[in-house]
Homo-oligomer: A and B are copies of this chain.
């Protein structure tokens, strides 16, 4: 059966089974441990013996997590897989298999779904994940992707719950890039197609075109830190970890709550993304606020009692980028605070939460952040 051009077909003419066949056509049929893949009632997989199975799921919802006005469907396909891969990374594991549930409005152009799956396939190849099953449904509402990722755990499990008082808080990479991109998109600025955007919108001054492109890459094509977290786990260096998806403040709060501890973050140490810094000047926004509460950077936040040199050596060559010690674990009673260069401390709060219109930007300003 030949694959017809997207412009020549509609969802109604394809039907559910025709669309399934179309989207599954380009997927690999064989792979490591794959006994039965797409096309049966369930996938059958063979995992390495003796290691725990890791499993996670995430929803990506049009209108909540992305908008077609600004996002290239291929970027959304990539991101839908990346966010769950990041959860597996945060447990110190390696992603292996994914199931994709897709709810599609009947009027969706087939070309959009082709692009979405192109992005999914590219991400699957990049993260060494096999797409082994899924479900397809019509919906009267926004397009929705529900991705479940299965992975293999390391010999040790890296949870949120192991942080101890006196340990150091570290983070991989730099923060705030994704939120900076979102701020530019929300103000109507154009995102180039090669950066995951649609190429529509207000023109961008040449001076910030480069930073915006780099920030958009963080927002639309996140690269979860699988290797760094696996290296930490293999060496038993990290006591607790979480990926930065809701924002540093919110995710550190999750880690502290699970561990029954508090923490203090040094404002001067927070590694602000250079692109976010450049875009902050342009958009007159505080890039530190993006870094602390913006979320979706998909870096790994972890705690350790190991000395800095040991941590840096363990992460060398794993693609973790710069890794930074940003604070210290304190007793629970100390709460969660940000220490400013002048020694003053303010509560560290904010971050994304569904049902509350509060994506980022809630840095507590009882003391001005200078």
A residues sitting closer than 8 Å to B (CB atoms) are 11-12, 14-17, 19, 35-36, 39-47, 49-50, 52-59, 61, 63-65, 86-88, 90-91, 93, 97, 99-104, 106, 132-142, 144, 146, 148-151, 153, 157, 159-161, 241-243, 258, 353-356
Contacts of A97 in B (CB 8 A): 55
Partner of A101, one of B53, B58, B241: B58
Given the contacts A42-B88, A355-B19, A56 and B258 also touching, CB distance less than 8 Å:
no
Give the complex CA separation of A56 and B149 in angstroms.
11
Given the contacts A58-B135, A63-B140, A42 and B91 also touching, CB distance less than 8 Å:
yes
Most B CB within 10 A of own CB, among A19, A40, A45, A353: A40
Give the complex CA separation of A17 and B250 in angstroms.
11
The minimal Cβ–Cβ distance linking A262 to chain B, given in whole angstroms, is 18
Given contacts A148-B148, A150-B150, 17 further A-B pairs with CB under 8 A are A15-B353, A17-B353, A41-B159, A41-B242, A42-B93, A43-B54, A43-B56, A44-B54, A45-B52, A46-B53, A55-B132, A57-B133, A57-B148, A61-B139, A64-B137, A101-B148, A104-B355
Contacts of A90 in B (CB 8 A): 41-42
Give the complex CA separation of A34 and B47 in angstroms.
17
Partner of A53, one of B16, B17, B45, B135: B45
The minimal Cβ–Cβ distance linking A142 to chain B, given in whole angstroms, is 5
The closest CB in chain B to the CB of A10 belongs to B355
Give the complex CA separation of A160 and B41 in angstroms.
8
Contacts of A50 in B (CB 8 A): 49
The minimal Cβ–Cβ distance linking A106 to chain B, given in whole angstroms, is 6
Q: Is the CB of A59 within 8 A of B354?
A: no
Q: Give the top 6 A-B pairs by smallest Cβ distance, nearest first.
A: A141-B141, A146-B146, A42-B56, A16-B354, A41-B90, A148-B148
Give the complex CA separation of A142 and B61 in angstroms.
11
The minimal Cβ–Cβ distance linking A227 to chain B, given in whole angstroms, is 16
Q: Is the CB of A354 within 8 A of B136?
A: yes
Partner of A35, one of B157, B242, B356: B157
Partner of A356, one of B12, B104, B134, B149: B12
Given the contacts A90-B41, A101-B146, A106-B355, A52 and B46 also touching, CB distance less than 8 Å:
yes
Q: Is the CB of A354 within 8 A of B41?
A: no
Q: Is the CB of A133 within 8 A of B55?
A: yes
Partner of A15, one of B47, B138, B159, B354: B354
